[in-house]
Structure 1
Amino acid sequence: MDICATKNKTTGEKENLEKTDPKQNGFRTEENNGVSNNMKSLTKPHAIQKTLDGQTISIMPKVRTTVGHMVDWDRNIIIDQLLKETKLAERFHGKPGMEKEEAQEVAKEVERRIRSLDLKFLSGPLIREIVNIVLLERGHIEWRNISTRVGTPVYDACEIDLGSGFEAKDNANLQENAETSHKKKADKISKEQYLLLLPPKTADLHLNGDLHIHDLEYLGTRAFCQDWDLRYFFYYGLMPDGSGAKASVAGPAMKAEVAILHAVKALGSAQTNFAGGQGFYNFLTFLAPYFEGKSYTDIKQLMQMFVYEMTQMMVARGGQVVFSSVQLSPGVPKLWRDKPAVYKGRVHDGTNDTQKRTYGEFEREVRLSFKALMDVMIEGDNWGKPFNFPKPEISIEPDFMEEDEFFNRAHPDLPGYEELYDMTFELAAKFGTPYFDNQLPEYRGAGEGISCYQCCAYQFSANADADDSFEDKLLFKDGKHFSMGSWQVVSLNCPRAAYRANGDDNALFADLKNLMDECIKLFKTKRSWMESIIENNRMPFATQRPKDPVTGKKGAIAVDIDALVCTIGVVGINEMIQYHVGSQVHESKDAFKFAIRVMTEMEMYAHQLSQKHGLEIALARTPAETTGQRFSVSDLLHDEYRDCALEVVKGDKETALAKLGKAHDLPVYYTNGTHVPPGADISLIDRINIEHVFFPIVDGGNICHIWMGEGAPDAKGLKEFATNIARNTQIGYFAFTKDMTVCLNDFHIMSGLKCSCENCGSEDVEQLSRVTGYVQAVNGWNNAKKQELADRMRYSSSDMI
């Protein structure tokens, strides 16, 4: 009940009853709740006969609502619901709602049909089905799409409860628990809802496999991913619900332990407002003031606390651990050394009774915390397993390629940059955990701005040329800070464009650009939807404005909504080129050159679209945990594309064809982004020489995967090879992946993918590897990714010489 307003009942219901033709036998329900959620579940014994004015008519069955009431039939409820619900057609489809006269006609027709069916029971879904049939017969598809129900058959819901059925292997990070089942059911409803509300052409392009709307289940309610500026929380404190109304509000952290917990809970809370990964840019530098003067032992305990909190909070969407990352530099970057430190609710710039403190004063704390975090991750958990989150993004920056000899002489007890980088490769050799964010290439703009990788390799950046408030953000002036993330990702089925072009270059470019145009329509639709979400305070954590600890007034908004990027992803560039040119990108110079031409055309067009539509459009390699499979299966299902797809698709085609039409989780896939196919039998050097060319072109993010074949790779060799990559290629982001197996019987950890424990012989084992941009148990992967795992070309230390 709304205690802020009192609503009086109108006489409308009574008047409608008095005007109802008794021969139609319309009865008012006990609640005007009828047919929306509302044309609810209804049951009643067979309709009985009644004599009225000498005529025999059937009495309509009563209706049992899902809110727990038995109500009488009343066709006026259909009228009311149609008038109310079809108003959404104007909001979502730009078409007017239904007029009352037509609603009355529809309701009469529905009642007539129900009477003619002589039903033994009547249900809300059945009423709604009949209403929708009448709407379709009258040519009102948009009203039908608004008035229909979304949900799932009982059988499918039971399958979800047992961990199978709908998108069971769609996300390897999801856990086997009841929350996952609940999420999958909600996902199914939400995806149906948004496909019905999208412009029909856009929805069809997704369903038909021309493009893929990522995290469709969250399309209408939240942004995609975000990289946070920790200074925001160290200045304002923590408001987990974004408003302070539902959760307790904490002031700025005054102690290191509280700062760590605020960082943890900020990423956890952000999961409610974003569909993808959450991370911290420049993590250790912003955290360092809280560690001032602490011993290495104390700092290591705090780092251990952070890692365990991030990997033990089963609170993210569907009961999974928080998909998180932290950008790590072994020292304070030059850009930040003279900037005022923000902590304990103050900007320490010498104003507001603060002592002037700069981040450069905390070099000691950054080095020790870097070492501590590496030590914690190298040790692994209590079983000796690797920590898969937060993803450690190791920043290879010009600032740290040479030692600060002056500082090292003054602090001989502290580790130098080289020693700290050595630890990252020790971690890579043991677990393959770290990701290397290479900022040495000129196009990364190191020192002139800020740049980071997020989620599964999406790249975000900010610099003075593109941001008028860049300097203010560096200084945290008036709460201004860096807010980098993505609104939405939509990926293109690039091979299909080649099938349609049939060797015609111009037709191929036109098709790809047309798909990019369709992405713009989707982005604009989402923006319009999200305006309503934000206006109704349904994204409160991202739009929060906490109490300023100095002025007592509302502070700066957490996320710069207008700065969020719209990302267009590419899938299957290799297969597109293979079909169009006749060879794969690694098989001929012509194929390689044409791939560069295509990506350059798309990147230039993305910039044109940005200027034309006032949106920040980024072109990116799609991680494609499921999209590479979905596109390939979709093409195999279409008669017009099947033969084309069979020429280029990767994986087990024979098995896929045998199960085609019976299952969708098939062992076939298109290659991620602009990658060389994972199974290509070429040297690692050749693979890198091909893939590195695309990094400056794909400004929205890319990654180079190096699959290791050795059980115990040499850490020193990995470092030398990585340094060569960083200094001599344009690869901006790369990772060494090591396969492992964990015995769940005696907790023994083994290198490689094993089917049984080498220690106790048990077959109760869990295989681990990097699925796309994160390490996770193989049993949660879909069949395409498992096939790719088997196909991967693995390299030893000798291949890196």
Structure 2
Amino acid sequence: MTGETLLHDDQLSDNQSTQTPLEELSVSPLHDDDELSDNQPVQKTLDGLSISPLPKVRTTDGFILNWDRNIIVNRLLKETKLSEIFYSKPSITKEEAVDIAKEAEKIIKKMNIKFLSGPLIREIVNNILLDRGHVEWRNIMTRVGASVYDAYEIDTGYGFEANDNANQLNNAETSHKRKADKMSKEQNLLLMPKELADLHLNGDFHIHDLEYMGTRPFCQDWDLRYFFYYGLMPDGVGTQSSVAKPAKNAEVAFLHAVKAMGSAQTNFAGGQGFYNFLTFMAPYLEGKSETEIKQLMQMFVYEMMQMMCARGGQTVFSSVQLSPGVPKLWRNIPIVAMGKIWDGKQAPLRTYGEFEKEVRLGFKALMDVMLEGDAWGKPFSFPKPEISIEPDFMEEDKEFNRTHPDLPTYKELYRMTFELAAKFGTPYFDNQLPEYRGAGKGISCYQCCAYQFSANPTDDVEFNDKLHFKDGKHFSMGSWMVLSLNCPRAAYRAEHDDEKLFNELKSLMNKGVEVFKIKRKWMNNLIKKNRIPFAAQRPKDPNTGEKGAMAVDFESLVYTIGVVGINEMVQYHTGYQIHQSPDAYKLAIRAMFEMKMHAQKLSRETGMEIALARTPAETTAQRFAVSDLLHKEYAGKAESTIKGNVQAAKRDLNQTHDLPIYYTNGTHLPPDADVSLPERIRYEHTFFPIVDGGNIMHIWLGEGKPDPDGLQELAMYIAKNTQTGYFAFTRDMTVCIDEGYVADGLLDRCPKCKSENVQHLSRITGYLQSVEGWNKGKRQELLDRKRYSTQELR
């Protein structure tokens, strides 16, 4: 229970005994020999008065205990201490605890029962607390978890959050995670102020990864140099795992990268990535043949896809930022590898610019591996290849190409990414050409499901030190948490008044910041207790023997406010969707600017860096739509804007909340918008510079064999002529489970063996995954998507 996880017995006063916790007293089947005999010993109360015998109580740890009112007193004294931590209100006094215990005892005596359990005792105590107006104490004392029936449903793959995360598998670890998630979510909602908890429960906003709100940051993009300098300490403390020295050879370097990503999943709620992956890895590839490099890349990809160690036994949600050469920013920077900074002091001077060959060969090898697919011919979902389109590589290095005619050019390497896009739709294109991306002036990357992170000399006084890895300083980019706003609901409340709409959105943002503050307060407490050891590790410096730099700079993590349903918001407000009216389009832009400026204002006032982002909304887009349909005040208004099969949703609303309806993600046009691709690009690219926390443009491909040249031509046009910062081409595929065969499109049966035992693959929000794990809202969106042929792309 929460009291035992945050408080210890040594915090009890001297006259308190460590009794069996109430939550360990459980309901067990009542057998004949459990009935009490008439000659049971009379129990003695705290005040010395004799009372009639009460039933014995069974405990979950395998004991039958005599009734003891002291247990209630001690648990009240111990557990309500959390009220001081979470509610800033005093804990119970001993006098009131004794009084409540007496009242509970009287109630139990009047019930005249033969069987007594901990949950029953706790509910009686909680009712007394509510009757006396102690809501906070009741919230802390209550039980969280699932009924036996709900737990069984989770075990069999149904029930709680069965389709909330398409990356989770149907296995025992997933069942275990969902049970833990249910308990943790209830706990975290009970421990935050009721007003904020209700905003989440009512669907005004959505707290992402609520189950980890009190225990983990959200996501992280890592600087590989950290592990190449310090080595690998998977547990973060060195006592439960073996500590490895810095990698000296390529195979170990790749394995350290894999294990670092996997270990980080134990400390973070979201995805993990490596920016500038090939440049930092290149020194380990020196002297390797193309065959050897390909083998290493193959090992890396398979390790990432076969390491089922992430939360709930799922694949590690991972990404790698890939450049076809060494970016100019890094060419004159001393390398960090093999436990040294090669700056002429710790080791002979070597700079990353010397490893252009290795980067190009590494890029080619990784594309070759991904183009081949796995043994069945399926694409690799992870690590997500984030292809960086940078100014540095828009023109060839003619001198280098002349002296190395056997190496692929930048154009040829980029061409391979479009072959991969045409075959599997795997790559994501990180467009750093627009001025607002700041390529060449700083560090910028996309990660997780399209969140953007950056560091630059203007905002970071230690930027140059981090660039040179001085004293272990390095780039640490990630997010504390994500909270998304139900933007359509703000419009329903505003009733066509612009200023009221903006104020509704800003008010939700203000409330969201209060959640951020709670998150940080809780996390600060855990960081002090070293409960996030991998992220907070400080390994021994291999050269000085002193403690090194902390792995994650928690102060640099941002807080992300996501938006869902901007299209439906303006649709209700103006009567038109974004693409249907200039007024609707302008209102969407104005609203986003209002929110961005307010986020900047909140950042200045709170000292917390708050970023505005498009939310992937795998579950949230559906949840908001269902919440509005359930709410009498909004249902009539929502029906006119909700996407999907509204009539089917209304029919089944009382049976399930997994319904085929949704709001449009972020600032996108609706998936079924009947517009040409150039029109879709023209509308959606406008929002990229506004949402500094990340965005993505989806291009759904409709034909079986797209033309790679057509994709490359379109992609380069987008990169050079629009503000689009991140985009992907998505293909639908069918996998035959019986035959191990992959076919184009969403088919009912295998075209090779005619088996109906098939699964479908597509991109759900920001990653490729089996459609069978999607919720009904996302499945409906999949059907609604307008797909484009290569001819339409030109």
TM-score calculated relative to the size of structure 1: 0.95
Q: Give 1:94 shift.
A: 1.0
Structure 2: which amino acid aligns with 1:96?
A: P
Who is 1:106 aligned against? 100
Who is 2:332 aligned against? 338
Who is 1:87 aligned against? 81
Structure 2 residue corresponding to 1:259, chosen from 250, 253, 256: 253
Q: Secondary structure at the match of 2:654?
A: coil
Structure 1 residue corresponding to 2:548, chosen from 540, 547, 555: 555
Q: Is the 8 A contact 2:466 2:474 kept in 1?
A: yes
Q: Give 1:39 shift.
A: 4.5
Report which stretch shifted further, 559-568 or 38-47.
Answer: 38-47
Who is 2:243 aligned against? 249
Who is 2:572 aligned against? 579
Who is 2:793 aligned against? 800
Q: Give 1:410 shift.
A: 0.6
- The yes-or-no answer on 1:207 pairing with 2:201 is yes
Q: Give 1:36 shift.
A: 3.5
Q: Secondary structure at the match of 1:647?
A: coil
Q: Give 1:33 shift.
A: 2.9
- The yes-or-no answer on 1:529 pairing with 2:526 is no
Structure 2 residue corresponding to 1:647, chosen from 633, 640, 644: 640
Who is 2:59 aligned against? 65
Q: Give 1:423 shift.
A: 0.1
- The yes-or-no answer on 1:273 pairing with 2:267 is yes
Who is 1:180 aligned against? 174
Q: Secondary structure at the match of 1:212?
A: strand
Q: Is the 8 A contact 2:9 2:18 kept in 1?
A: no
Who is 2:559 aligned against? 566
Structure 2: which amino acid aligns with 1:357?
A: R
Q: Secondary structure at the match of 1:586?
A: helix
Give the distance between the partners of 1:562 and 1:200, measured in 2 at CA: 28
Q: Is the 8 A contact 1:47 1:59 kept in 2?
A: no
Who is 1:422 aligned against? 415
Structure 1: which amino acid aligns with 2:343?
A: D
Structure 1: which amino acid aligns with 2:19?
A: N
After the TM superposition, which residues 291-690 of structure 1 pair with which residues of structure 2 at under 5 Å, given as runs?
291-352=285-346, 354-690=347-683
- The yes-or-no answer on 1:193 pairing with 2:158 is no
Q: Is the 8 A contact 2:19 2:74 kept in 1?
A: no
Structure 1: which amino acid aligns with 2:156?
A: L
Query: Residues 398-423 of structure 1, C-alpha deviation per residue, up to 9 Å, x if partnerless?
Result: 00001000000010110000000000
Q: Secondary structure at the match of 1:648?
A: coil
Query: Residues 276-325 of structure 1, C-alpha deviation per residue, up to 9 Å, x if partnerless?
Result: 00000000000000000110000000000000000000000000000000
Structure 2: which amino acid aligns with 1:143?
A: W
- The yes-or-no answer on 1:726 pairing with 2:719 is yes
Q: Is the 8 A contact 2:23 2:119 kept in 1?
A: no
Give the distance between the partners of 1:384 and 1:800, measured in 2 at CA: 26
Structure 2 residue corresponding to 1:141, chosen from 123, 135, 140: 135
Query: Residues 175-199 of structure 1, C-alpha deviation per residue, up to 9 Å, x if partnerless?
Result: 1110000000000000000000011
Q: Is the 8 A contact 2:565 2:667 kept in 1?
A: yes
Q: Is the 8 A contact 1:741 1:767 kept in 2?
A: yes
Q: Which runs of 5+ in 2 are unaligned?
A: 1-7, 44-48
Who is 1:163 aligned against? 157
Q: Secondary structure at the match of 2:445?
A: strand
Structure 2: which amino acid aligns with 1:224?
A: F
Give the distance between the partners of 2:514 and 2:88, measured in 1 at CA: 14
Q: Give 1:35 shift.
A: 3.5
Q: Secondary structure at the match of 2:453?
A: strand
TM-score calculated relative to the size of structure 2: 0.96
Give the distance between the partners of 2:20 and 2:142, measured in 1 at CA: 14
Give the distance between the partners of 1:56 and 1:695, measured in 2 at CA: 74
Structure 2: which amino acid aligns with 1:550?
A: N
Query: Residues 118-153 of structure 1, C-alpha deviation per residue, up to 9 Å, x if partnerless?
Result: 112101000000000000000100000000011100
Who is 2:5 aligned against? none
Percent of aligned pairs with the same amino acid: 67
Q: Give 1:65 shift.
A: 1.3
Q: Give 1:747 shift.
A: 1.4
Structure 2: which amino acid aligns with 1:477?
A: K
Query: Residues 481-518 of structure 1, C-alpha deviation per residue, up to 9 Å, x if partnerless?
Result: 00000000000000000000001111111110000001
Structure 2: which amino acid aligns with 1:33?
A: Q
Give the distance between the partners of 2:755 and 2:42, measured in 1 at CA: 77
Who is 2:772 aligned against? 779
Query: Residues 85-112 of structure 1, C-alpha deviation per residue, up to 9 Å, x if partnerless?
Result: 1110110011100011111110000000
Q: Is the 8 A contact 2:25 2:60 kept in 1?
A: no
Q: Secondary structure at the match of 2:116?
A: coil
Assess, with a 3 A threshold, how the Cα gap between structure 1 residues 315 and 10 changes in structure 2: closer, same or farther. closer
Who is 1:747 aligned against? 740
Who is 1:26 aligned against? none
Q: CA RMSD in A?
A: 1.7
Give the distance between the partners of 1:104 and 1:12, measured in 2 at CA: 14
Q: Give 1:623 shift.
A: 0.4
Q: Which runs of 5+ in 1 are unaligned?
A: 14-30
Q: Is the 8 A contact 2:450 2:766 kept in 1?
A: yes
Give the distance between the partners of 1:605 and 1:766, measured in 2 at CA: 44
Give the distance between the partners of 1:534 and 1:515, measured in 2 at CA: 28
Q: Give 1:770 shift.
A: 0.2
Assess, with a 3 A threshold, how the Cα gap between structure 1 residues 238 and 100 changes in structure 2: closer, same or farther. same
Give the distance between the partners of 1:218 and 1:734, measured in 2 at CA: 29
Q: Secondary structure at the match of 1:436?
A: strand
Give the distance between the partners of 2:20 and 2:107, measured in 1 at CA: 18
Q: Give 1:37 shift.
A: 2.9
Give the distance between the partners of 1:177 and 1:411, measured in 2 at CA: 50
Assess, with a 3 A threshold, how the Cα gap between structure 1 residues 618 and 6 changes in structure 2: closer, same or farther. closer
Give the distance between the partners of 1:565 and 1:6, measured in 2 at CA: 36
Q: Is the 8 A contact 1:110 1:130 kept in 2?
A: yes
Q: Secondary structure at the match of 1:422?
A: helix
Give the distance between the partners of 1:305 and 1:455, measured in 2 at CA: 22
Give the distance between the partners of 1:745 and 1:490, measured in 2 at CA: 41
Q: Is the 8 A contact 2:22 2:121 kept in 1?
A: no
Structure 2: which amino acid aligns with 1:72?
A: N
Q: Secondary structure at the match of 2:200?
A: helix
Query: Residues 198-237 of structure 1, C-alpha deviation per residue, up to 9 Å, x if partnerless?
Result: 1111100000100000000100000000000000000000
Assess, with a 3 A threshold, how the Cα gap between structure 1 residues 547 and 181 changes in structure 2: closer, same or farther. same
Give the distance between the partners of 1:512 and 1:115, measured in 2 at CA: 53
Q: Is the 8 A contact 1:49 1:56 kept in 2?
A: no
Q: Is the 8 A contact 1:42 1:62 kept in 2?
A: no
Q: Give 1:749 shift.
A: 1.0
Who is 2:757 aligned against? 764
Give the distance between the partners of 2:457 and 2:442, measured in 1 at CA: 7
Give the distance between the partners of 2:141 and 2:80, measured in 1 at CA: 7
Q: Give 1:70 shift.
A: 1.4
Q: Give 1:58 shift.
A: 3.5
Query: Residues 532-569 of structure 1, C-alpha deviation per residue, up to 9 Å, x if partnerless?
Result: 11111100000000010000110000000011000000
Give the distance between the partners of 2:42 and 2:391, measured in 1 at CA: 92
Give the distance between the partners of 2:437 and 2:411, measured in 1 at CA: 22
Who is 2:707 aligned against? 714
Q: Secondary structure at the match of 2:166?
A: coil
Give the distance between the partners of 2:475 and 2:574, measured in 1 at CA: 43
Q: Give 1:661 shift.
A: 2.2
Q: Give 1:32 shift.
A: 3.6
Q: Secondary structure at the match of 2:650?
A: helix
Give the distance between the partners of 2:215 and 2:27, measured in 1 at CA: 27
Q: Secondary structure at the match of 2:648?
A: helix
Give the distance between the partners of 1:81 and 1:34, measured in 2 at CA: 9
Assess, with a 3 A threshold, how the Cα gap between structure 1 residues 208 and 294 changes in structure 2: closer, same or farther. same
Give the distance between the partners of 2:350 and 2:62, measured in 1 at CA: 63
